Structure 1
Amino acid sequence: MHYTGTIWRPPYEAASLLIEVTAGCTHHKCKFCTLYNDLPFKFRMSPMEDIECDLQEVKRAVKGWNSRRIDRVFLTGANPFVLSYDKLADIAGLIHKYLPSVKSIGSFARITDVTPKTDEELAKLRALGYDGLTIGIETGDDEALRFMNKGYTSADIIEQCQRLDAADIHYSFFYLVSISGVGRGEIGAKLTSDLCNQIHPTLIGANMLTIYPDSELFTEIQHGNWQEESELEKYKEVRTLIENLQIPTIFAAMGASNAFQFHGQLPKDKKKLLSFLDEIIGNVSEEELKKYRRSVHHL
């Protein structure tokens, strides 16, 4: 199998077959991100012959399994959905050729990856199996989006996700707790809930901002241009987000950045989740949470 650098996937894609079709990120400008710093290039697409070779290898392996069937493929790389419709269609064709049991194909995506695709192309990609994208929107706070150099606005998120809704392409969000900075966390949470309430994310996954020395954000902090929330403020922010969400969705904090992992179905589990967060806010010390943050050497 062809894999380049550290391979990232969402926690809920643990059972999916991981196929590398891109490596790196086309944007690679977010101030907080260090996920692809181990690559000697910004972005590249895998040669189609490598993708086909990996699928052939998997097909041979599947023949030796008595009961397991592969029904989902997750394309790796920061944002494979940036590839053109034609390239994504060709990749889907290879997947279905060698693994006919596959029912859906997912990947990470940026909001800007959706923009250039026509509504017709999105519908065709859905018919080819593309479904369950994971989008790191981070926040609905335009001030934070601008400062962190995400490359889009909250209005862009709403517009492009409404297009995904129309194409019946389901998507999940990553929300980055503390991205709005000290004193603005709950403001950012409310703005994000307002945004999410207008669209239909299947899941909203919260990740706690963890700042590393090789990030541009670390330099901004050294220059006094930005300040991180306290750990307890981060949990108050998450509480505000959940409290203001009015849509049916799964809320999850399951990644390594979270000292306490939890998930639930909204609105059914809202009271339970809020109570759990109240317990953390009222009974866990700032120093205990900071100790965990310092222990997260890499996400």
Structure 2
Amino acid sequence: MHYTGTIWRPPYEASSLLLEVTAGCTHHRCKFCTLYEELPFKFRMSPLADIEEDLMELKEQSELWPDHHGRRVFLTGANPFVLKYGRLMEIASLIHRYHPAIETIGCFARVTDVTAKTDKELSNLRQAGYDGITIGIETGDDEALIFMDKGYLASDIIQQCSRLDKAGISYNFFYLTSISGAGRGEIGAKATAEVCNQLHPVRIGANMLTVYPESGLYQEIQKGNWKEEGELERYMELRTLVKNLKIPVYFGALGASNAFQLQGILPRDKEKLLYTLDQIIETVSEEELQRYRRNLPHL
């Protein structure tokens, strides 16, 4: 298999077949991100010959262990959905040729990856199997999006994800707790809830920002341009987000960046989630949470 660097995938893609079609990130400017620093290039497309070779290898493996053959493929890389429509359709055709049992194709995507595709192209991609894509919107707070150089605003999230809704392509959001900085967490949480309440994400996954020395954000902190939230403030922010979400959605904070992991279905489990967050805020010390953050080697 042609895998380049560390392979990142959401927790809910654990049973998906992993197929590399890109490596790295086309944007590669988010100040907090260090996920692809190990790569000697910014972004690279996989040759179709490599993709086909990997699909043949996966087919051989599935024939040896038929019970482990999944019905979903997850395309690896920071944002494979950036690929042009024709390329994505070629990849889908290869997947279905070698693995006719595959029903859906997922991947990471940036908001701006959707912008470049027409409504008809999005509809055709859904028919080809693309569904359940994961978008790191991070926040609905425009001030934070601009400072972190995400390359889009809250209005773009609403516009482009509404187009995904129209095309029938389901999607999941990643929220980055504390991206708005000290004293602005609850502002960012309310802004994010306002954005999400206008859309139809299947999942909202919350990760907590962890600042590493090699990040651009670390340099901004050293210059005094940005201040990180305290650990308890992060949980108050997370509580504000849960409280203000009005849509039916799965909510989870399951990544290693979260000292305490929690999940539930909203609105059914809202009170249970709020109670759990209240218990953390009231009984866990700032020092204990800071110790966890300091000892977190990577996400």
TM-score, normalised via structure 1 length = 0.99
Deviations 1:41-72 (A, max 9, x none): 00010000000000000111111124333200
Residue 245 of structure 2: aligned partner: 245
2:139 aligned residue? 139
Look up the SS of the partner of 1:105 in the other structure: strand
Alignment partner, residue 292 of structure 1? 292
Aligned counterparts of 2:60 and 2:185: Cα–Cα separation in 1: 50
Task: Report how far residue 39 of structure 1 moved.
Answer: 0.2
Where does 1:48-197 land on structure 2 (aligned, <5 Å)? 48-197=48-197
Greater shift, 59-68 or 195-204, is seen at 59-68
What's the CA shift for 1:38? 0.2
Gaps of 5+ in 2: none
The question of whether the paired residues in 2 share the 8 Å contact of 1:249 and 1:265 is answered with yes
SS at the partner of 1:44? strand
- The answer to whether the 8 A contact 1:133-1:171 is kept is yes
Counterparts of 2:28 and 2:52, CA distance in 1: 27
Task: Report the identity percentage.
Answer: 68
- RMSD (Å), alpha carbons: 0.5
Residue by residue, what CA displacement relative to the aligned partner does 1:151-204 show, whole Å, maximum 9, x if unpaired?
Answer: 000000000000000001000000000000000000000000000000001000
Instruction: Letter of the 1:135 partner, please give it.
Output: I
**Cα gap change, 1:66 to 1:33, in 2 (>3 Å):** closer
Q: How many residues align?
A: 299
Q: Give the Å deviation of 1:295.
A: 1.3
* 8 Å Cα contact 1:70-1:99 kept in structure 2: no
2:270 maps to 270
Instruction: Give distance in 2, aligned partners of 1:70 and 1:98.
Output: 13
- In structure 2, the residue matched to 1:259 is 259
Secondary structure of residue in 2 paired with 1:232: helix
* Partner Cα separation in structure 1 for residue 11 and residue 293 of structure 2: 19
| Counterpart for residue 44 of structure 1 | 44
Q: Report the Cα distance in structure 1 between the residues aligned to 2:28 and 2:67, rounded to whole angstroms.
A: 41
Partner of 2:202: 202
Query: Aligned pair 1:10/2:10, yes or no?
Result: yes
Range with greater deviation from structure 2 (58-67 or 47-56):
58-67
Kept in 2, the 8 Å contact 1:252–1:262? The answer is yes
